[in-house]
Structure 1
């Protein structure tokens, strides 16, 4: 099943590139999907938010998202990172 960016609550910016504005803290998360891999940029403010973002990113990429980049160490960008362990 193919999920569109909009159905997942994301804004498509270009082919394979999108962003999602998170509620509450005005944090923006990014996703870049390439031919062989995918990169999520920032992980949200909680484990639950991180898990939701991971699931959405995997649905959009059609595969596991193995790469995570954290832009800076504010809690609303990093606390969800633990769900990406391994």
Structure 2
């Protein structure tokens, strides 16, 4: 009996993890109402609006933000207008 309970628990855990790791196609994301330009930081904000039920789908459709590179500061710039 304990082995069956453990096996069911393990199976549900693996199913949950595979759902979080899988990315949906862009068409499936559009059907869910998510943009192809969705950033994962936007998914973090869903909890603030009591929309936590949308987070799994959001996580499967979002793109990670690029790490901010060090800012480059230039002494000046030249704007050339043609025409």
Which TM-score band (shorter chain)?
under 0.3
Which of the two has greater helix per residue? 2
Which of the two has greater strand per residue? 1
Larger radius of gyration: 2
Question: TM-score w.r.t. structure 1 length?
Answer: 0.25
